[in-house]
Amino acid sequence: MKEGLLYIGLSLVGILALVIVFAVIIHFRRLRRKLAQKYTVLQVRVPKKEENEVGPIVMENIFATLHGIQTKFSLWQKLKGYSSEHISFELASIDRNIKFYVAFPNDLRNLVEGQIYAQYPDVEIEDCPDYS
pLDDT of residue 53: 65
Q: What is the CB neighbour count within 10 angstroms for residue 66?
A: 19
Please list, in sequence order, all residues whose beta carbon lies within 8 angstroms of the beta carbon of residue 127, skipping any fewer than 6 positions away: 40, 41, 42, 43
Per-residue pLDDT of the chain (132 residues; tens, 9 = 90+): 678 888 888 899 999 999 999 889 888 888 887 788 888 999 998 877 655 567 778 888 888 888 888 888 887 887 777 777 888 899 988 888 888 999 998 888 999 999 999 888 888 999 988 777
Q: Is 45 helix (H, G, I), strand (E, B) or coil?
A: strand
Strand partners, 44: 100, 125
Strand partners, 127: 42
Q: Concatenate the DSSP letters of all residues of 66-108 into one string.
A: HHTT-----HHHHHTT------EEEEEEETTEEEEEEEEEGGG
| Whether the Cβ atoms of residue 33 and residue 26 lie closer than 8 Å to each other | no
What's the DSSP call for residue 56?
T
pLDDT of residue 72: 85
**pTM recorded for the entire structure:** 0.68
